[in-house]
Chain A
Amino acid sequence: MSREIRIVLAGNPNSGKTTLFNALTGLNQKISNLPGTTVDKKTGQFQIGEDKCVLYDFPGTYSLYPKGEDERISVRYLLSNENKKDVILYVADAGNLKRNLLLYSQIADLGIPMVLALSMTDMAEKKGIQTDVRKLSEELGVIVCPVDARHERGLDKLKDALLKASQPVHRTFFSNLKCFTGSGAASYQTVLLNRISEKETDTASDIADLTAASETVERYRIIDNILEQCVLKALKRKSDFTQRMDAILMHPVYGFIIFYAFLFVLFQTIFRIADYPMQWIETGFSMFSAWSADMIPEGMMNSLVSDGIIPGVGGVLVFLPQIIFLFAFIAVLEDSGYMTRISFMTDRMMRAFGLTGRSVVPLIGGMACAIPSIMAARNIENKKDRLITILVTPLMSCSARLPVYTLLIGMLSPQVKYGWLDVRGLMLFGMYLLGFVSALFFAFIFKLFIRQKEGNFFILEMPDYRMPQLKNIILTIREKAGDFVFNAGKVILIVSIVLWFMASFGPPQTFENIEKRYQTYTHSDKEEKIKSEKLEASFAGILGRTIEPAISPLGYDWKIGIALITSFAAREVFVGTLSTIYNVGNESEEETMREVLSGQKNPKTGQQVFSTATILSLLVFYAFAMQCISTLAVTYRETRSKIWPAVQLVYMSGFAWLMSYLTYTLFN
């Protein structure tokens, strides 16, 4: 009779746990969220003969004593009697056994059957470390299986061991439970659960802290004794690849240069190279939309599908290339071990602004697009640092702002060059600088105002360098892309459709009246004029006129107001909307568009609509305003709360309004 075996993976970060998980489960894995938390649980399946094995994985940890809220949640889940576990599969890095066995010793004391997988034995050997597996197994009283997850070796013996493990481990470590003051702690499990509650309610005492530390020292003493008999270390360390690499990569001068070079490549890739597949997707969906407009009979359904749903879906999928590239980069960084070095190099500078070394990659990525960058912030363990990074990343000038900047800067200054310096290029650079500085500014402010419950520490293991594994990278990308499309994507699609509706429909009769009026119109720009009037008469147009009082201090009229509203779906829509409202005609002709817009005069005052002051004000507005529902959707998803996207919307738009107002007043 086939049974279902529930296995939980446990081990230190960087121990090869994830690689083993991927090797065992392959594509049969999914991520699910522990309800009401920001903690994700990975679940995978594989077969051993007729038996089905369900494998659970949590983020790696060094000790069952949790150091933050996420760890508390994971450990609680692990200790809970409700979640049945048949076997704990512990993964230990053979090159680092001493520290790896600490967590092992704690789990062993819980009385659950275990199997110990010894990973990265090849790397250990290169360091001159040899482990007597048989002796280790004897001393620990557990089955020990060397595995090479990267090359999928040792997995069969591992699977056999998993089937056989049914008894608690023979050797437990810490039996002096009485030293934990607390009413008769009956088991180590109880001790830990009490400890978690203490930390949650802030009632942990200094004595409790010291007790935990001395328990750890005791455990290490026992581990030392065991390892003395089982592990042989070459007296002279063979040349260490990691230390040689670090000599270059962590060099005070070269190291930093290499780092900047790498950031440059990262930015260029996401910015430029992702552009090609993005254009293919956009073109593809354009064609699809046009095709469906032809195929579906005239009417609302036609418009809904061709103008609403298809572009809406396209608007979600268009982010995939950037997400894939960014996460491929990040996966390579994490897998290779270089990511920790980045945190190391940048920590001091980032900390001054309430950010962290790990914020660097999301911030740089934000210069291409905030969506994958905010998702990437999940790597930041400290909740406050992660939150601040998520809140300020959208201030980095993303690529969607570029068409807006290009148009406005183009209107502002013709191609003036001072020697080799292009004024427009300089202004563009200035916009990027503005975004960067404001991000640091707000990070600093948030650092002061957001309370932090847990202590902030760096104490970071810098793992040995190793070759990134393609399989890991692909599985990571698949997970992130899927998460985006099916979760954030839903929100983006809905809001896109709402905005489409508002821009396509108006109060009854108005659209018909427009059509009637143009029936006898014979000029070639008939189509454009109709489109333009319809947009003005639509709900979006009405909304534009409604908000006019709020935006006229900034130098905008209601027509610009419509463009502000529609660009909420995506910033670059601003350009297209403006060209429709002012019926520019062929909108890809930049020269024409600039001329037409520059020539616009306000019917009431006779003044130029797009005056210098207005243009500058618009530039500032687009630099700071939160105008991207996709960003809000992803923030909601990553923080699991409606508050933070709301905070983003309010602080950014408020700041944008204020700065635009100041700019307009200054230059008017």
Chain B
Amino acid sequence: MRASELRNGQMAKIAGVQAGGLKEKLTEMGCIEGDYLKRLYVAPMGDPLAFEINGYTLALRVEEANLIEVEGSSIHES
């Protein structure tokens, strides 16, 4: 599934980032295969989304989160 499909509090493992103009930027910001990301909250209109990844908070538009493939989602109790 895609990162944009996660819900608040759900954590998943990154399976890959779609090739294209933003892959380079997303990778630099830490969206690496095998790393975990967790959706934290969402903006009032459903876009953008805020994720926790590699220890910091990263905000992505839905169209950007669509580029990230994730697997094995679970609700993470913190």
Contact = CB atoms under 8 A, between A and B. Distances in A.
Query: Do A and B belong to a common assembly?
Result: yes
Nearest to B49: A344
A501 B77 CA distance: 73
B41 A246 contact: yes
Nearest to A103: B28
B50 A250 contact: yes
Given A209-B23, A458-B48, A458-B59, A344 B32 contact: no
A348 B48 contact: yes
A406 to B, nearest CB: 36
Nearest to B46: A348
Contacts of A210: 19, 23
B23 A220 contact: no
Contacts of B44: 252, 255-256, 345, 348
Interface residues of A, number: 43
A457 B33 contact: no
A460 interface: yes
B50 A461 contact: no
A457 B64 contact: yes
Nearest to B56: A96
B25 A348 contact: no
A102 B56 CA distance: 15
A445 to B, nearest CB: 23
Interface stretch (A62-70, A168-176, A389-397): A62-70
Interface of A is mostly: helix
A213 B27 contact: yes
Contact of A220 (B30, B50, B55, B64): B30
A462 interface: yes
A349 B55 contact: no
Contacts of B15: none
Interface residues of B, number: 33
Interface string B10-47: 00000001010111111111101100000011011111
A14 to B, nearest CB: 9
A345 B30 contact: no
A344 B29 CA distance: 17
Contacts of A462: 50, 56-59
A366 interface: no
B57 A347 contact: no
A508 interface: no
Nearest to A239: B78
Contact of B54 (A99, A217, A349): A99
A62 B32 contact: no
Contact of B48 (A209, A217, A247, A347): A347
B59 A237 contact: no
Contacts of A463: 56-57
Given A98-B54, A348-B47, A217 B33 contact: yes
Interface in A199-236: 206, 209-210, 212-213, 216-217, 220
B36 to A, nearest CB: 12
Contacts of A460: 48, 58-59
B47 A461 contact: no
Contact of B21 (A209, A250, A461): A209
A165 B17 CA distance: 39
Given A349-B45, A455-B21, A344 B28 contact: no
A459 B55 contact: no
Contacts of A246: 40-41, 50, 57
Interface in B52-77: 54-61, 64
B48 A344 contact: yes
Interface in A447-494: 455, 457-464
B13 to A, nearest CB: 15
Contacts of A96: 54-56
B29 A99 contact: yes
A242 interface: yes
B50 A62 contact: no
A243 interface: yes
A212 B24 CA distance: 7
Nearest to A99: B30
A209 B17 CA distance: 13
Contacts of A345: 43-44
A340 interface: yes
Contacts of B50: 246, 250, 344, 462
Interface in A70-107: 95-96, 98-99, 102
B76 to A, nearest CB: 11
B40 A243 contact: yes
Contacts of A206: 19
Contacts of B60: 458-459
A167 B28 CA distance: 27
A250 B61 CA distance: 16
Contacts of A127: 55
Contact of A461 (B22, B24, B48, B56): B56
Contacts of B64: 457-459
A65 B25 CA distance: 9
A244 to B, nearest CB: 11
Contacts of B26: 459
A95 B33 CA distance: 21
A96 B44 CA distance: 28
Nearest to A221: B32
Contacts of B25: 67, 457, 459
Given A210-B23, A458-B61, A461-B57, A348 B28 contact: no
A237 B78 contact: yes
A553 B58 CA distance: 55
Given A96-B55, A348-B48, A459 B29 contact: yes
5 contacts: A210-B23, A216-B27, A457-B22, A459-B59, A460-B59
Given A63-B28, A457-B22, A458-B48, 4 more contacts: A98-B55, A217-B32, A220-B32, A250-B50
Interface of B: 17, 19, 21-30, 32-33, 40-41, 43-48, 50, 54-61, 64, 78
The 4 A-B residue pairs with the shortest CB-CB distance in the complex, in nearest-first order: A462-B57, A348-B45, A63-B28, A458-B61
